[in-house]
Amino acid sequence: MLRKEKPNTHAKPTDFDFLKVIGKGSFGKVLLAKRKCDGTFYAVKVLHKKTILKKKEQNHIMAERNVLLKNVKHPFLVGLHYSFQTSEKLYFVLDYVNGGELFFHLQRERCFREPRARFYAAEVASAIGYLHSLNIIYRDLKPENILLDCQGHIVLTDFGLCKEGMEQEETTSTFCGTPEYLAPEVLKKQPYDRTVDWWCLGAVLYEMLFGLPPFYSRDVSQMYDNILHKPLQIQGTKTVAACDILQGLLHKDQKRRLGAKTDFLEIKSHVFFSPINWDDLYHKRITPPFNPNVAGPADLRHFDPEFTQEAISASITRTPDLAASSSSASDAFLGFSYAPTEEDI
């Protein structure tokens, strides 16, 4: 059951103490915040309306909000607690997760052993399968968008490129994603379907096992050419099952890709995942292969010091009068604000 929505009348910037910058994006920053009334820690994503409107990205922001509201019931998707706005900014109040980005851990260790890579890939696949069941394509799967919680389970974040209303057979053709993880059909600007997410899962699994995305080149045009034309190369001593799932997920023909027929069911039943009990996985009964060992919410060891040492702008904590905003800015984000009902709490 999805959360009931109601106009948010009570959440505002002054309800929170903003403690540290813990991330950055193209439209704003993510901050560690503590709610004053009860000391609960949250990650608060603060976006600048002006930048969003300038880049004509308001539809993506509203789609992100809609998807976040549907995430609440899945263990491996970041959840939304509140959203609100001021005349200049939008605020997403999200689950705070401090085990670090998968990207951070992968950079430090170069690559993971197969059981660890399988565990993360299974939790990611479970999250993607759930989004697909809601007719949502994720479209931006990469290690930077996969976080670890304090126990070491994955939490998928950043839903700005999600596409809603995508039935099983439906296609879309918007060119979006991150260069290293783009599927061939996206590069060709052809209509694509939800199998783009399974291509990305293959690319992330490959990177976990080998340390680099499958068709990587520093020269982006060469990398695009590799994605389109170069056969997949698997070096070293990987199991037959690992080689087979990578070949299946990274099939250049989306109609023959693993997941093209029965979506998540096909992924689940692949021999590579045979050691996984999917019910235990979903209920977090499997002990993660790596524990981030965080001492508590204030432990920021897995965040980049480049972010955490940055000063927090005073404008983030102010609550300007929304009525003072330009009508175009407020009209563009009608319905953005959300607070849980008492029933949800």
User: What burial class does residue 26 get, using C-beta atoms within 10 Å of its C-beta: 0-12 exposed, 13-18 middle, 19+ buried?
Assistant: exposed
- Bridge partners of 91, per DSSP, are 46, 84
Under 8 Å CB-to-CB from 179, ≥6 apart: which residues? 220, 223, 224
**Is there a catalytic annotation at residue 140?**
yes
54 is in an annotated binding site: yes
For 256, other C-beta atoms within 10 Å of its C-beta total: 11
Sheet containing 28-35: which strands, arranged edge to edge? 16-24, 28-35, 41-48, 89-94, 80-85
CA distances 230 to 238, 326, 338, Å, are 20, 51, 47
**What is 68-119 written as a DSSP string?**
HHHGGG-TTB--EEEEEE-SSEEEEEE----S-BHHHHHHHHSS--HHHHHH
Annotate 128-168 with three-state secondary structure.
HHHHHHCCCECCCCCHHHEEECCCCCEEECCCCCCECCCCC
Q: Which of 17, 95, 140, 344 is catalytic?
A: 140
- Bridge partners of 148, per DSSP, are 154
Point out the residues that are catalytic: 140
Task: List the binding residues for ATP.
Answer: 54
